[in-house]
A and B are shown apart, each in its own frame.
Chain A
């Protein structure tokens, strides 16, 4: 209903009030001992990108063993690009608009680390060699020049109770991706099942 829409920054401030104290300026221009440690412990980062000229936004997960994101220095990190589906949605955004927003998660911890900056894609062999996993270097790396880094409080994950194993859904209570693909796209279930199983074992790295 248009009458209730919050359409600009003044309306936002009138509705929400102002942030308090240090929160207003909590972004740091570089990593420190705590954010470095958090990145070392993190097996998952969600990467937000967006197309040029207010094009579509994209949010996608990158995961690997803890510490998979390389800290090049306090203002630069590199995310390895393991085999995916070759859609390269995010990469297409990055080459046209380098702005990225990242959120690092550490299982068991409700607070998260947010890192924003500008990204580029590289195949620099020396860098990729540093990030070999299962004997294979990544296909490429997303190198991010950090503009700001800050911790995000744990309220969202506390409300979600995200790390509580008792809350985890039993996998078989939701259809497999193969079943969904068969229904959504008419992909043959039997042959796709075999391919998907192989993909999840042989093509993770």
Chain B
């Protein structure tokens, strides 16, 4: 370990100090009216999973119309699984190690909601039928049994000024995914563009 590394909990506490007051115990064991409402307003979440035994971690976005995550009860939620790239990285982690960490965002709000728990992947038809979008049920659902839920303060998003439209990049200021794919993998840019445009219109649901 390098000279300035913080390598254990004692070193962390010596460097950062202790959390103050209720913040040290802010996890709640279930959803309440505020966290339920936040989930209803949220069109995007980030799902952290991890392979078993200290294997690689994975973080992937899930997005849809606001309220796309179904609150089954105060201790369980279901995330619809819309068509992706079939790599199923998150799913492979979940079947081997169910621990998940989720962050919900609501555009225009700087605070975020964090929900941690254990997940499973299901194709239960009655559940999928509740989550139909554009006439199609999801391919599967990730059901999470909640261990803890809490709001996270807005400092990260305030510093990022994330929701300020004036700070948004014009899409043309950055290479298209097709240009990048050609550069990285030698896939023909035009062919990829045609495929991706179709995918972004026809294969969202």
Contacts and interface: CB of A to CB of B under 8 A. Distances in A.
A2 to B, nearest CB: 9
B159 A204 contact: yes
Interface residues of B, number: 125
A132 to B, nearest CB: 14
Contacts of B32: 183-184
Contacts of B44: 156-157, 160, 162
B63 A103 contact: no
User: In this complex, which of A4, A21, A92, A196 has the most chain B Cβ atoms within 10 angstroms of its Cβ?
Assistant: A4
A153 B86 contact: no
B45 to A, nearest CB: 9
B156 A177 contact: no
Interface in A52-75: 52-65, 68
B153 A50 contact: no
Given A6-B140, A60-B152, A140-B6, A48 B50 contact: yes
Contacts of B184: 26, 28, 32, 34
Given A57-B50, A158-B200, A19 B41 contact: no
A46 interface: yes
B70 interface: no
Contacts of A187: 21-22
A34 B183 contact: yes
Nearest to A161: B43
Given A87-B19, A88-B16, A175-B34, A56 B158 contact: no
A84 B99 CA distance: 24
A204 B187 contact: no
Interface in B75-91: 82-88, 91
Contact of B64 (A8, A46, A159): A159
B194 interface: no
B185 A22 contact: yes
Nearest to A169: B108
A34 B180 contact: yes
A187 B125 CA distance: 43
Contacts of A32: 183-184
Interface of A: 1, 3-9, 11-13, 15-24, 26, 28, 32-34, 37-38, 41, 43-44, 46-65, 68, 82-88, 91-92, 95, 97, 99-103, 105-109, 111-112, 114, 116, 120-125, 139-140, 147, 151-165, 167-171, 174-175, 177, 180-181, 183-185, 187, 196, 199-200, 203-205
Interface of B: 1-9, 11-13, 15-24, 26, 28, 32, 34, 37-38, 41, 43-44, 46-66, 68, 82-88, 91-92, 95-97, 99-103, 105-109, 111-112, 114, 116, 120-126, 139-140, 147, 151-165, 167-171, 173-175, 177, 180-181, 183-185, 187, 196, 199-200, 203-205
Given A61-B103, A88-B13, A184-B34, 16 more contacts: A4-B122, A5-B121, A7-B95, A19-B87, A23-B85, A33-B183, A54-B50, A85-B153, A86-B17, A97-B54, A123-B15, A177-B151, A180-B151, A200-B154, A200-B155, A200-B158
